[in-house]
Amino acid sequence: MLRVSRLLLGWLVLAGCAEPANAQPAPAVPSSPVEDAPAASASQETPPRAEPATLPAWPAATAPLTAQPLQVPKGYRKKRIYLDAGHGYRANTGNTSVTCETEADNMLRVAEDLARRLEATGHFKVRLSRRAGKEVHYRTRVSEAESWNADAFVSLHSDSRGEAAWWEAAPGQKCLRQDTTPGYSVLWSDETADPLKTRRVTLARGLAQRIGAAGFLPYDGVDYVGLYEGDPEHPGVFVDRHEPGLRIMMLRRPRVPSVIIETHHALDFEEAARWKELRTLEAFAAAVAQGLVDGLSDSPSPAAPMATTGVAAQK
């Protein structure tokens, strides 16, 4: 069995620290100008109203995602975001996906794309924790974010959940697979005092709200019991509940608001495939941008509903 929590504890704990649209009715037909037109029979039945179409659920290939235009309040100051591509130090490559891709490589790809899209909005300055072929100690990442005066520390990861089984992803290539627990989660730590604690949870909730509103599925936390505690009013938000002294370093150590985004379940075949699509990266980046504005602003934009109806554009 693989679990993200065990991987994070195994690899992030360093030096004593755990790092429809509805169908529209037909328009009314005007009365016939012919006076002798026969009246409709009283026994004639009205055809039943069509039921609303049901959108396919994430992570199905046809499940829609939304890239909403960024809304920024007046006077919003450009924010510095330290974007950490999870893992990638020494032998710590994280989990191995359903198609045998390492978490470190996958998250570097996602982080580089997200950094580019965030900066393109003109409202963020982004610093990546690492580049391809470069190893950066986890404590160094935290100190860099703090010395750079980052407004937020955002670490990107993928989960590995539940009881997995081996399968042949390609001829001669066997990987683990488990297709029953897809979804994203946003993790934070309350192991600090206010105002930092409030800033952390505000950021986590802002990000999770916008990611869900874009069409991604919030993880239900079935494999997090005893490790993370879910937020009953904010789907996809979880606070670190590992034993004291073993809690995640990247969540508790930064003296700036810090979160981990578990982007998806890496062992789920459909979800892993969606995360290789440009439309997924586009929708994710738009959601993260708005979530950062909401979570770091004194005057956040109006919260979006956790749905994909009435959106600007569907992918």
Q: What is the pLDDT of residues 1-45, one digit of tens each?
A: 444 444 333 433 333 344 433 444 444 434 434 344 444 444 456
pLDDT at 54: 81
pLDDT band at 278 (very low <50, low <70, confident <90, very high): very high
Q: Which amino acid is at 269?
A: F
pLDDT at 46: 62
* DSSP class of 287: H
236 vs 214: CA distance, rounded Å: 13
Q: Which residue has the higher pLDDT, 285 or 13?
A: 285
pLDDT at 74: 92
Stretch 88-95: mean pLDDT, rounded? 95
How far is CA 234 from each of CA 190, 239, 242, 288, rounded to the nearest angstrom?
A: 16, 11, 20, 16
Chain centroid offset of residue 119 CA:
19
* Spatial strand order in the sheet of 79-85: 124-128, 79-85, 152-159, 258-265, 185-188, 237-240, 228-230
pLDDT (tens digit per residue) in 152-195? 999 999 999 999 999 999 999 999 999 999 999 999 999 999 99
**Average pLDDT over all residues of the chain:** 85
